[in-house]
A and B are shown apart, each in its own frame.
Chain A
Amino acid sequence: MSDKPDFTELQNLAAEILGVNADDVQMNKSFAKDLAADSLDLVELIAAVEDKYGVELSEERLDGMKDIGALWVFLEEEHAKRQEV
């Protein structure tokens, strides 16, 4: 992951997996309540995020994220860590 994460890309990725419109994927949207993601969707989302951003994201970690914004913060932090290295 050399480029800074692009939020539009994350919107498109989540929209594809969760079967929603990309515009509905906003920072304050919760996975389950707002985006109707079930546990299977989230396992698939983890695999897609890991592949796209080259990060490791455990199910426990994602479970602790209350919304898309939390996932976005995680990706930004991971990116920043890589820049430091």
Chain B
Amino acid sequence: MSTSNGVRVAVTGMGFVTPVGHDTETVWSNLVEGVSGVGPITRFDTSQHSAKIAAEVKNFDAADYMDRKTARNIGRFCQFALAASKMAVEQSGLVPADMNPDDVGVIVSTAIGGMEEIERNQTILLQRGVRRVSPFTVPMMIPDMGSGIVAMHLKAGGPNYSVVSACASSAHGIGEAAEIIKRGDAIAMIAGGTEATITPLTLGAFCQIKAVSERNDEPERACRPFDLERDGFVMGEGAVMLVLEDYDHARKRGARILGEIVGYGASADMYHYVAPHPEGAGAARAMRKALKRAGIEPEQVGYINAHGTSTKVGDIAETRAIKEVFGDHARKLAVSSTKSVHAHLLGGAGALEAAATILAIDRGMLPPTINLENPDPECDLDYVPNKARKAEVEYAMSNSFGFGGHNATLVIRRPDPN
């Protein structure tokens, strides 16, 4: 981030385990083509739930990415994180094991942690007693474990913890990881987010607060940010991990730089447990801070990957916040919510959307907001409806907001021409 010191932060690797693919080209193709990852839930019986749909990770076998014992003894959210981290590090070309242990750190963020494992062992506790509770329950459930597992397997011994801020977790995590590089505490950070909470209790709890879409008969049309007929978010799962690296270090070793993290802003709504501030005041402050740290004017931003969850109040609040920050330019820039395609990865959302933003700049193409058929009059910006659009963008923004009123904004820049 250019205003604090001379250190710049490049992105040199990305790894994906998502409902719309497990490699960059598949994910990007599905985002651009608008191929939804949402379908009926297959992981458990949803007969009691008002929402019966989600974007599940499909065709994922943990054993493809780790030894059998590790796959057995870590939570699903950690399996995703380890697989995505390995892919990201491979793309970057870095070999942490060959570097000083302090050179590479890890921040795997998650909103919740090992919910599936908690629920399974709670059932065992009630049905069979405490002596049948798995001794791996604690490491499977604690939300920091993704960072620990990735460090163990990739031999990355630098700063290591998780950032928890609900659905903003991995945006904060990436922002904080960039700060670690800028202050010189690591040369590179493996940073991103993961979530695996398509479970009876988690979904049921979200159903109880009427936060999730009940468009069960049309799963692919259920997530429809900014559309008048939207009725809530759709839960997703998966992990996206990035390799952030000191820009000069990456350039000197000849790495392909995919994008640059130039701005990060964080703020609190100070308003409500689960409702966003109606005017998006906290979100607006996060965006302003990120622009300031990037050292750019609002008019320099060409694209915003919105938080855009498809909830009634959230999409309006974000739209208001964008108008507040960008003024007249709000109507000139493009905004899209890729959640319409990949759904809401909760703690993994910020990382997936940061990756989508990087790819949008890199490919010169803005991924669309699908299912935007009848725009809400209160959502009146250019949301790139339904069809991808070619656009050359130098600066783009990714917004992430979480229950509790946590806001995080990242500003990403096109890398220098080689």
Residue ranges of A at the interface with B (Cβ–Cβ < 8 Å): 17-20, 39-41, 43-44, 47, 51
Contacts and interface: CB of A to CB of B under 8 A. Distances in A.
Interface string B27-69: 0000000000000000000000000000000000000000111
Contacts of A20: 69
A11 to B, nearest CB: 15
A40 B136 contact: yes
Interface SS, A side: helix
Contact of A18 (B69, B134, B139): B69
A44 B134 CA distance: 6
Given A40-B136, A44-B136, A19 B131 contact: no
A32 B134 CA distance: 19
B73 A47 contact: no
B68 A40 contact: no
A47 B125 CA distance: 13
A40 B132 contact: no
B153 to A, nearest CB: 14
A40 B134 CA distance: 9
A17 B72 CA distance: 8
B164 to A, nearest CB: 24
Nearest to A43: B135
Contacts of A39: 135
22 contacts: A17-B72, A18-B69, A19-B67, A19-B68, A19-B69, A19-B70, A19-B72, A19-B73, A20-B69, A39-B135, A40-B73, A40-B135, A40-B136, A40-B139, A41-B135, A43-B135, A44-B134, A44-B135, A44-B136, A47-B131, A47-B132, A51-B132
Contacts of B131: 47
Which of A17, A39, A44, A51 has the largest number of chain B CB atoms within 10 A? A44
Chain B: interface residue count, which band?
10 to 19
Contacts of A47: 131-132
Q: Which 9 A-B pairs have the closest CB atoms?
A: A19-B69, A43-B135, A40-B135, A19-B68, A44-B135, A47-B132, A40-B136, A19-B72, A44-B134
Nearest to A18: B69
Interface string B129-145: 00110111001000000
Contacts of A51: 132
A47 B130 CA distance: 11
Contacts of A43: 135
Nearest to B136: A40
A51 B132 CA distance: 9
Nearest to A47: B132
Contacts of B135: 39-41, 43-44
Nearest to B72: A19
A39 B73 CA distance: 13
Which of B67, B70, B132 has the largest number of chain A CB atoms within 10 A? B132
A61 B132 CA distance: 18
A72 B132 CA distance: 22
A17 B69 CA distance: 8
A40 B67 CA distance: 17
A73 to B, nearest CB: 23
A18 to B, nearest CB: 7
A31 to B, nearest CB: 14
A41 B136 CA distance: 8
Nearest to A51: B132
B121 to A, nearest CB: 12
A43 B68 CA distance: 18
A33 B287 CA distance: 55
Contacts of B73: 19, 40
A79 to B, nearest CB: 22
B132 to A, nearest CB: 6
Given A18-B69, A19-B67, A47-B132, 19 more contacts: A17-B72, A19-B68, A19-B69, A19-B70, A19-B72, A19-B73, A20-B69, A39-B135, A40-B73, A40-B135, A40-B136, A40-B139, A41-B135, A43-B135, A44-B134, A44-B135, A44-B136, A47-B131, A51-B132
Contacts of B67: 19
Contacts of B139: 40
A30 B70 CA distance: 20
A41 to B, nearest CB: 8
